[in-house]
Structure 1
Amino acid sequence: MSALTGVLYAALVAYLGGWYLGRWTGNFALLLFVLTSVTMLYWLAERFHFAPARNKAAQDLLDNDAKRRQTLAAQGINRVDGDIEPARQQLLQQPWWLDWTAGLFPVILIVFLLRSFLFEPFKIPSGSMVPTLLVGDLILVNKFHYGVRLPVINKKIVANNDVKRGDVMVFRYPEDPSTDFIKRVAGIPGDEVAYVNQKLYINGQLAPTQPVDNFYDDSGSPRVYRPRFNEKLGDKQHQILVRPDAQAYFRADRADGPFPFQENCRYTIEGVTCKVPAGHYYMLGDNRDNSRDSRFWGFVPDENIVGKAFLVWMNFGNLKRIGTFFN
């Protein structure tokens, strides 16, 4: 078993090393599920086989020593040298390969359950959600807000809250489902969403906006001040950035070809208008002119939903961000 455990750890190190070096794309949810399953098997084996075997061996040692002492006492020898306690402790000691597998199972199980059904951490990798979320923000995602889903396969088994316009949602990127993305929900099933001449329309109604100030956007190149606005989607108000000199024309450019329901969208020199199909959502970045979103790669299906983002719990470059709640 020690050799088998060594091989498993070597495979884990190779997988993580290749993931870190970019040789392949890792799947943390699947990895955590496999680690939970493997350590659970070791934990069960320890509880029902290895630990009872060690306890029996230690008890046999005590019984044999007691019989030896009784035999010697019957012969008139009452003083017997030899302390078997160190040997008994050695028999009871858990080997390293069980300590590093069965011993880790409770911790890994707790992490697996918390991450799968309650909260998952997520790091903001780009400036597409500036000014709401900054590059380097470490956020928490509520996994059960939209319903309980089975880990790894992401199948919803219990429904909860409906997705609403204005929600900040983490989802599996339609072009590469192994990658998580974060955007704001602009359209829900049945909505007609139009982004024309840098203005957002939902079902023909202009989304209310109010100018705020200029925001220093250092998430892209060049780093400049951009006009910041308050925007209202549904009952939620949030801030967006709009670059007046940005090109207004968008085109479908999904890497793997036409996106599903692309026929629901009309692209013109002024912008794009899409009818959101059933079971799908239309996503936009708050940094409207620095975000590749549904305007380019289409709709997000319900089965791609990861959860609702709600809290910045850490930003090592800007500690003032810690504890920031957002819509």
Structure 2
Amino acid sequence: MAGKTKSKPSANGKPTVKNDIWETVVVLFQALLIALVFRSLLFQPFSIPTASLQSNLLIGDYILTSKYTYGYSKYSFSPFEFLPINGRIFGRAPEQGEIAVFRPVPQNVDYVKRVVGLPGDTIQMKNGVLNINGTAVKKERVGTKIDTDSYGTSIPVILYRETLPNGASYIVQEISDNQALDNTAEYVVPDGHFFMMGDNRDRSADSRVLRSVGYVPLENFIGKAEVRFFSIKDNINPWQIWRWPGNVRLERMFQSVYQ
């Protein structure tokens, strides 16, 4: 009769019951193994906890980073960072304008910033304008808004469209052109390293701060940011489903981070 199952008979003719617990353990193990391979080799999710890339990546955005784009190193093989891997294998080098997740040399936490300087480049900020190899990067004012950081502090900011020498274009925002990191000395990016900056220029600790971030070695890159797959206001934990109504930002989900 449809819908019924039969027990499996044993050798002595008596029915036996399958070990449901063992089957469940096997299924869970297989699912975890697949998830681990997916996370280590293909895509890894990250949350955005700070305002350093606003208004492109907001606090509470969740992104997927592709591991294979830049290839693999001990940092991108998380959680297997103990593996004895030197340098990178496969993949390509990061390009100007790409948003990447990386591990700063002095840190033990992951950062997400935009690539602005390549090996051998000279980087300098002059009155809030990014200069690369002695040439000011194109910067066009496009509007204003109110920016709120992870502490709930709100302040007016000016929006600019910045266009790098390779044509990569995106929005940056500034409080003014005379903040702490708006005028710097020249930074010469060492061979095999990259210069990273946040789009929220006056609220970002990035490569301009050598003691805490500085130049990023190629092997310290974890992956290239690709897609926002979830977004929720006020950094609310996603598992708090009862808080989704009115807080989930549906308009930001399943979009490229380069729009």
Q: Same fold per TM (> 0.5)?
A: yes
> 1:286-305 maps to which residues of 2 (within 5 A)?
286-296=199-209, 297=212, 298-305=214-221
Deviations 1:214-235 (A, max 9, x none): 0221226641221100001222
Give the SS at the match of 2:185.
Answer: strand
Higher relative CO (CA 8 A, sep ≥ 6), structure 1 or 2? 2
Q: How many Å separate the matches in 2 of 1:133 and 1:281?
A: 21
- Aligned CA distance change for structure 1 residues 323 and 159 (closer, same or farther; 3 Å): same
Name the count of aligned residue pairs: 224
Q: Which residue of 2 aligns with 1:240?
A: 172
What percentage of residue pairs aligned between the two structures are identical?
31
* Contact 2:70-2:91 at 8 Å conserved across structures: yes
Q: How many Å separate the matches in 1 of 2:88 and 2:129?
A: 38
1:113: Cα distance to partner?
1.2
Q: Which residue of 2 aligns with 1:188?
A: 118
* Contact 1:142-1:308 at 8 Å conserved across structures: yes
Give the SS at the match of 1:247.
Answer: coil
> Which residue identity is paired with 1:208?
K
Q: How many Å separate the matches in 1 of 2:181 and 2:41?
A: 40
Give the SS at the match of 1:201.
Answer: strand
1:144: Cα distance to partner?
0.7
**TM value normalised by structure 2:** 0.78
1:288: Cα distance to partner?
0.3
> 1:42-61 maps to which residues of 2 (within 5 A)?
none
Q: Which has the higher helix share?
A: 1
**TM value normalised by structure 1:** 0.63
Q: Which residue of 2 aligns with 1:161?
A: 92
Q: How many Å separate the matches in 2 of 1:222 and 1:122?
A: 23
Which consecutive unaligned segments of at least 5 residues does structure 1 have? 1-57, 66-82, 251-269
Q: Which has the higher strand share?
A: 2
Q: Which residue of 2 aligns with 1:147?
A: 71
Does residue 1:274 correspond to 2:187, yes or no? yes
Give the SS at the match of 1:113.
Answer: helix
Structure label with greater radius of gyration: 1
Bigger CA drift: 195-204 or 285-294?
195-204
> 1:1-327 maps to which residues of 2 (within 5 A)?
62=11, 65=12, 84-85=14-15, 89-90=16-17, 93-94=18-19, 96=21, 98-99=22-23, 101-149=25-73, 151=77, 152-153=80-81, 155=85, 158-177=89-108, 179-219=109-149, 222-233=153-164, 234-244=166-176, 246-248=178-180, 270-296=183-209, 297=212, 298-316=214-232, 317=247, 318-327=249-258
Structural RMSD (CA)? 2.3
Q: How many Å separate the matches in 1 of 2:34 and 2:100?
A: 24
- Aligned CA distance change for structure 1 residues 215 and 157 (closer, same or farther; 3 Å): same
Give the SS at the match of 1:214.
Answer: strand
Stretches of 4+ aligned residues off by more than 6 angstroms: none
Give the SS at the match of 1:108.
Answer: helix
